[in-house]
Chains A and B, each alone.
Chain A
Amino acid sequence: MRKGVKSIETKHYEERDSFFDGLRKLDRRSFMRLAGLSAGIAAAKGLITPQGFQLISVAEAATPTPSAKPKFSFAYISDSHLYKQELNDRFVRSLLRAVDDINRLDPQPDFVLYGGDLAQLGQKEELDLGKQILKTLKAPVKMMVGEHDWFLDMGEHWRGLFGEPQYSFDHKGVHFVTLMSVNEKDFWTERGMTPMERMQTVAGLDNGLQSRFEVGAAGREWLKADLAKVDKNTPLVVFSHSPLYKYYKQWNFWTDDADEVQALLRPFKNVTVIHGHTHQLLSNQIGNIQFHGMLSTAWPWPYAPEGLPSLTVPMNRTDPFSNFDGCGDGRMDVLESGLVDKLYNLWDRNPVTVKSSYLASSGKQDRPPASKLPPY
């Protein structure tokens, strides 16, 4: 939580206290208003209710101005964390749901970005299952690797299925780069870990054993060489699994050499970074670079206790009753300007669009609809 923000418990207890204090000195009307909460009457009567009971209202996006017209769209699915189906098919079901969503899009996106963490523990069966499901997408798929796909066999099987993890391509005047941003310095050899121990250590998000993610020197060299061929006015869209900035180190919501990578991107006019890994609504802007997090299909992470970019319009706590709440997939509309309007297609909630103009104006314009409930 940022400074000055009360925790959800504090707010809850304050609300409760004021509720009961209020009951002591009441006329009938305000009594009805307070007490109606318990019976669900307030919702129907449209009365003001404390935040804990409020519904989220989502405004429909206005029609874009011609200058901010989408040039083309691509969809994304990310962080499915598949287990073998015999063990757990809940995440399988979620990925199938995402594939159905994307296949239903009309018009179809130009391609689908898969944001990494297809498997939970990098095992052959998990990756094969994921590949089989992603095959059913109508649009072509661009794959990115996540740490859960990698650290069992250091990417051997993933490479066999999907090719090299770092590549670039040009599409309709935009230069796209996919990075492998989840390399880690060797922490396993000196500890004598088996591949599975190494994998499980990396999969445990907040342990002190593993190193921090990085693109690494070799990766940055490759990126430098790739970008050298690109005109500085060409819009640039970078895919990375971990956020390409420093959000929260303890959970590895982090890229250790983010500053060096950002320096390579700085000469370009319009840069957008799309990342996975954080499983939440997340928006950031650093200099000329706009950052968008992707939703997971498997589960939503809570927000880190510190370091949350101030431009993020956070989502509130998700419903534990629902397998799908706070998860989802989405779509990016690449605008004429080369920047990206991003649609979070949240399941069990209303969709949220974070426009590039919102980030470009440092949050002054086009603020996405926010929940009245506290972030979690």
Chain B
Amino acid sequence: MKAISFAGALTLATVALADNSAAPPPLPLGLSPQLYKLTVPQPPTPAQVTLGEKLFNEKRLSADNSVSCATCHDPAKAFADGKPQAVGIKNQVGQRNSPTVLNALFLATQFWDGRAATLEDQAKLPILNPIEMGMPSPEAVVTKVRAIPEYRDAFQKLNGREPSYDDIASAIAAFERTRMAGNARFDRFLTGNSNALSAQEKRGWALFNGKGRCNSCHAGNAVSPLFSDQKFHNIGVAAHKQDFVQLASEALRVVRAGDEEQIDRLALESKFSELGRFLVTRHENDIGSFKTPTLRNVGVTGPYMHDGSMATLWDVVDHYNKGGITNPYLDGGMQRLGLTEPEIDDLVAFLFALTSEDFAALEKKELTAQRARKTKRPERDTAVALGKKGNLGDLAPNPDLKNPADLGLYGPVAAPEK
């Protein structure tokens, strides 16, 4: 084994790679410069970004000039929309909750089911989706944009040619590549300011990595700042709504019969989209799996889950606490957690501490709104969570999980009261 650390190797390599591309923008606290360098080998130019932002807010990219990217990814709402499911032209409601654009550049795949590999690929699809922006074809989009002088000139200046659909998508993607989020209370805490988190938030961080098992999929640390494993898991959300098992066996039958086209048609039907990642990979094991979303700004980007079916973070923790919703394809890592009510509060408090500073006002508003709903807990099943009912999780003696916060791992411990 060579005694050379990964970060060291990266530094060596970055030195070796130094070339004339634009210097990376200053990153918000908590994001890794190495990760940025890997993700954005060539930072977008200001001209690209300006044009991209304009397009991002451009309602004329939709069939009836009523919906832009920003309609569902509203910069004022942390680039989400606060609605359970996205609403497109003619007030049509889609199947999915709008995920935030912040830090999307770092994600290995785009969309809840990961069907797009890049921001460029992603940008093209909502414009053409009949429920979202409803443009009939890429050609129609290009024709419409070319007819608007300001865009025609801007693209001419940028690329020296009339815009193509690819050009439009890459401009939007260039803007999205500048949308990063860090700079949360948690980041200040992690970089050595132990007063940045309250005692409750520190207890939540310990639960996050301990009893709550959140870090199994949402690990977050200095080198992996996204709080997402970028994988796909079935946690049972899709099993809420319909006879999921029936749905899955129908889909499997179609796949075994080898009719890929039919699956694509099914995917557009509402209920089949609940099969999630399976529609992309056709692997049985991916039935009902959706991408692990980043947890940065999770407090201000509710409602939660791929379908926006959970209104508050308390609902989300309740869902995990009872081990998700049983279904044949439930991820094997799901088990009941046995979190008590005060522990749930601590965990939620920590999740709010992942909000970037610029959304402090929004965070306050959201926290108040979510707190007000604390009495309404549709996902709660304390009996199952604590193992008094059902068959979820070992009832073996609880492991002796000392709270790392009490051991002083997250800063000084207050002296016990006499």
Contacts and interface: CB of A to CB of B under 8 A. Distances in A.
Contacts, number: 103
Contact of A44 (B10, B108, B285, B332): B108
Nearest to A36: B38
A44 B106 CA distance: 11
Nearest to A321: B333
A13 B2 CA distance: 10
A35 B13 contact: yes
Contacts of A97: 328
A46 B245 CA distance: 31
Given A17-B1, A45-B117, A350-B285, A32 B38 contact: yes
Given A28-B41, A31-B17, A41-B38, A20 B2 contact: yes
Interface string B383-395: 0000000011111
Given A23-B9, A41-B39, A351-B284, A322 B393 contact: no
A93 interface: yes
A88 B285 contact: no
Contact of A60 (B17, B39, B255, B335): B255
A93 B335 CA distance: 10
Contact-residue bracket for chain A: 35 or more
Contacts of A347: 332
B39 A87 contact: no
A47 B284 CA distance: 23
A28 B17 contact: yes
Nearest to A21: B2
B285 A349 contact: yes
A134 to B, nearest CB: 15
A87 B230 CA distance: 35
Nearest to A92: B391
A46 B335 CA distance: 32
Contact of B392 (A45, A60, A93, A104): A93
B320 to A, nearest CB: 14
A101 B395 contact: no
Contacts of B361: none
Given A39-B39, A104-B245, A321 B9 contact: no
Interface in B279-330: 282-285, 328
Contacts of B284: 350-351
B1 to A, nearest CB: 6
B93 interface: no
A38 B6 contact: yes
Contacts of A321: 216, 332-333
B109 interface: yes
Given A20-B2, A85-B395, A90-B393, A41 B332 contact: no
28 contacts: A13-B1, A17-B2, A20-B4, A20-B9, A23-B12, A28-B19, A31-B17, A39-B38, A39-B39, A40-B108, A41-B38, A43-B109, A44-B108, A44-B114, A58-B283, A60-B282, A86-B395, A89-B391, A90-B393, A90-B394, A93-B391, A93-B393, A319-B332, A322-B331, A323-B332, A323-B335, A348-B332, A350-B284
Q: Which 10 A-B pairs have CB atoms at the shortest separation, nearest pair first?
A: A322-B332, A324-B332, A44-B108, A40-B108, A40-B230, A348-B332, A321-B333, A44-B117, A93-B391, A23-B13
Interface of B: 1-2, 4, 6, 9-10, 12-13, 16-17, 19, 35, 38-39, 41, 106, 108-109, 114, 117-118, 216, 230, 245, 249, 255-256, 258, 282-285, 328, 331-333, 335, 391-396
